[in-house]
């Protein structure tokens, strides 16, 4: 497809690839920290209002309105308040936050400074996945620059009496520590076990204190909102989702990568447009797409003319999630693909809740049996029953477990079975995988 998708003005990725884009000098030469300057001239409540008006929604997966989340933090808490940045980015198919940390960490740091001032936070923790060694070093170097320039430290960019300290903490490689309450437990030095919600972290979070947990991209989106205004940002997006967003395109496409797209950009445009994926490899046709990281229900080939936006994808009973768009072609075995996804969740379950602890390996065993041609038709029903006892579907997000990992493990099973049951039955009928060895195409 030629370049027909509406071009977007890059907000987050404008400087990526430019020389030394990660340094303070480069950031300042592009108007960096102007948003903070404006924020410091405003009342904290007015900053929260501005973020609310921008229609910025969380980019970590749930798409919760950021300004609303900030407004839940009690103003008169006797306890210290905290900001925790979620940079644990471990959702399969998701690899965007690392680009922000590598290419433009000051954008996130400015977002941290603005959020902290608006919320009355004096301590921020940037929690990065254990594997992000380089990204942690680059973030730390940017923090050091910010301290040296008087942005962080005793007085926030010269604001007398408002101190802000910022620390980088690396996890130890557990997916579950990206769940916000497990992240808080991990920050407290404990095992990363999710907590029951409510209470939400905004009220009872780190060390029992009010804590806002925001994703890296969410915070990086805040400076332009303050610098250019909420109205400008809201208008870039749709009625309910402001701005632009990063999507991670992977799987069977000619040009995988991270792209900044508009909220109106459709999955078909992302796959085929010359600006983005540049189509499928020669001779291949799209069979299915996971639109928002492996937790998001899969869509079939006839459902892809849909915007990669929270509300539009909700209408299709799936999720925009964390922006991980995984494309599967007609050589892909859907049983093997689901088995691969199921193995991941079984491995990463923390084991606190019975449906998740027992159900996730059970799904894996059943899928292996089906893939290897040893199953009976009743095993397919059993698989559906096991998934339903972890989390029924639809609706999304009403599982029987403490955290969303249970939902994330069950939703792919439900959606693969709903759309591709014939392939599961073919494995049973033929006592083998009809796709043979398929070394390519099952992202396995």
Question: Where in 180-199 is the site for ligand SF4 (CB under 6 A)?
Answer: 194
* Beta partners for residue 126, in sequence order: 85, 168
Note whether 397 binds ligand SF4 by CB under 6 A.
no
Supply the minimum distance, in Å, between the C-beta of residue 355 and ligand SF4. 8
Q: Closer CB to ligand SF4, residue 252 or residue 360?
A: 360
* DSSP states of 22-58: TSHHHHHHTTTTHHHHHHHTS-HHHHHHHHHHTT-B-
Note whether 176 binds ligand NAD by CB under 6 A.
no
Note whether 178 binds ligand NAD by CB under 6 A.
yes
Stretch that binds ligand NAD, among 87-95, 98-106, 301-309, 365-373 (CB under 6 A): 87-95
Q: Which residue among 67, 70, 89, 298 contacts ligand NAD (CB under 6 A)? A: 89
Note whether 322 binds ligand NAD by CB under 6 A.
yes
Supply the minimum distance, in Å, between the C-beta of residue 182 and ligand SF4. 8
Note whether 52 binds ligand NAD by CB under 6 A.
no
122/154 Cα distance (integer angstroms): 10
291/254 Cα distance (integer angstroms): 17
Q: Which does 351 bind (CB under 5 to 8 A by kind): ligand NAD, ligand SF4, none?
A: ligand SF4
Stretch that binds ligand NAD, among 57-65, 147-155, 161-169, 421-429 (CB under 6 A): 57-65
Q: Closer CB to ligand NAD, residue 67 or residue 237?
A: 67
Supply the minimum distance, in Å, between the C-beta of residue 232 and ligand SF4. 39
Note whether 405 binds ligand SF4 by CB under 6 A.
yes
Note whether 277 binds ligand NAD by CB under 6 A.
no
Note whether 403 binds ligand SF4 by CB under 6 A.
yes
**Bridge pairing between strands 299-300 and 324-329:** unpaired
N-term to C-term CA, the chain: 28
| Interface mask toward ligand SF4 for 123-162; x: CB under 6 A | ----------------------------------------
Distances 299 to 77, 185, 293, 420 between C-alpha atoms, Å? 45, 35, 12, 10
Taking the CB of residue 197, how many other CB atoms lie within 10 A of it?
Answer: 14
Note whether 293 binds ligand NAD by CB under 6 A.
yes
Query: Do residues 309 and 238 touch, judged by C-beta distance below 8 A?
Result: yes
Q: Which does 357 bind (CB under 5 to 8 A by kind): ligand NAD, ligand SF4, none?
A: ligand SF4
In 30-179, alpha helices (H)? 34-40, 44-53, 66-71, 97-103, 105-119, 133-148
Instruction: Name the DSSP letter for residue 249.
Output: E
Task: Indicate the SS3 state at residue 180.
Answer: helix
Note whether 319 binds ligand NAD by CB under 6 A.
yes
Q: Which residue among 23, 200, 357, 425 contacts ligand NAD (CB under 6 A)? A: 200
Pair of tokens at residue 252: 């069977």
Instruction: Name the DSSP letter for residue 65.
Output: B
Helix axis angle, 44-53 to 105-119, nearest 10°: 120
In 237-305, alpha helices (H)? 267-272
Note whether 60 binds ligand NAD by CB under 6 A.
yes
Q: Report how many residues bind ligand SF4 under the rule CB under 6 A.
A: 14
To which residue do tokens 């070093």 refer? Answer: 137
Q: Closer CB to ligand NAD, residue 98 or residue 369?
A: 98
64/397 Cα distance (integer angstroms): 13
Of 204, 219, 22, 192, nearest in space to 125 by CA: 219
Note whether 288 binds ligand SF4 by CB under 6 A.
no
56/63 Cα distance (integer angstroms): 9
Q: Closer CB to ligand SF4, residue 159 or residue 357?
A: 357
Q: Which residues bind ligand NAD (CB under 6 A)?
A: 60-62, 64, 69, 72, 89-91, 94, 178, 180, 200-202, 213, 292-293, 295, 319, 321-322, 404
Q: Which residues bind ligand SF4 (CB under 6 A)?
A: 176, 194, 349-353, 356-357, 401-403, 405-406
């Amino acid at each position: 497809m030629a370049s027909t998708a509406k071009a977007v003005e890059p907000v987050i990725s404008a400087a990526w690839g430019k020389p030394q884009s990660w340094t303070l000098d480069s950031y300042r030469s592009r108007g960096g920290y102007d948003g903070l300057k404006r924020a410091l001239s405003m009342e904290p409540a007015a900053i929260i209002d501005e973020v609310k008006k921008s229609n910025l929604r969380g980019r970590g997966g749930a798409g919760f309105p950021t300004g609303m989340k900030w407004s839940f933090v009690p103003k008169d808490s006797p306890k210290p308040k905290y900001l925790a940045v979620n940079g644990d980015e471990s959702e399969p198919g998701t690899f965007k936050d690392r680009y922000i940390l590598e290419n433009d960490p000051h954008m996130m740091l400015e977002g941290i400074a603005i959020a902290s001032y608006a919320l009355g936070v004096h301590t921020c923790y940037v929690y990065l996945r254990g594997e992000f060694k380089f990204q942690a070093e680059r973030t730390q170097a940017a923090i050091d620059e910010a301290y040296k320039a008087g942005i962080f430290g005793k007085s926030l960019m010269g604001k007398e009496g408002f101190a802000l300290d910022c620390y980088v903490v690396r996890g130890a490689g557990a997916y579950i520590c990206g769940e916000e309450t497990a992240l808080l437990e991990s920050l407290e030095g404990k095992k990363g076990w999710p907590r029951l919600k409510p209470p939400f972290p905004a009220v009872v979070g780190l060390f029992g204190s009010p804590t806002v947990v925001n994703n890296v991209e969410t915070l990086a989106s805040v400076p332009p909102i303050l610098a250019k205004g909420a109205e400008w940002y809201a208008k870039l997006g749709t009625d309910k989702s402001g701005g632009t967003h990063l999507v991670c395109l992977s799987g069977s496409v000619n040009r995988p990568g991270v792209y900044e797209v508009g909220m109106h950009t459709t999955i078909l445009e992302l796959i085929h447009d010359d600006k983005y994926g540049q189509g499928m490899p020669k001779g291949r046709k799209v069979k299915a797409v996971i639109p928002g990281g492996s937790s998001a229900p899969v869509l079939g080939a006839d459902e892809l003319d849909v915007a990669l936006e929270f509300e539009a994808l909700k209408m299709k009973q799936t999720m925009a999630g964390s922006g991980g768009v995984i494309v599967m072609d007609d050589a892909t075995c859907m049983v093997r693909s689901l088995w691969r996804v199921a193995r991941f969740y079984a491995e990463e379950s923390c084991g606190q809740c019975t449906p998740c602890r027992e159900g996730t390996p059970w799904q894996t065993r059943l899928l292996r049996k089906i893939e290897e041609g040893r199953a009976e038709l009743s095993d397919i029903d059993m698989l559906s029953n096991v998934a339903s006892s972890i989390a029924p579907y639809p609706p999304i997000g009403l599982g029987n477990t403490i955290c969303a990992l249970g939902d994330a493990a069950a939703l792919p099973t439900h959606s693969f079975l709903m759309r591709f049951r014939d392939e599961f039955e073919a494995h049973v009928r033929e006592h083998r995988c009809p796709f043979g060895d398929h070394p390519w195409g099952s992202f396995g």
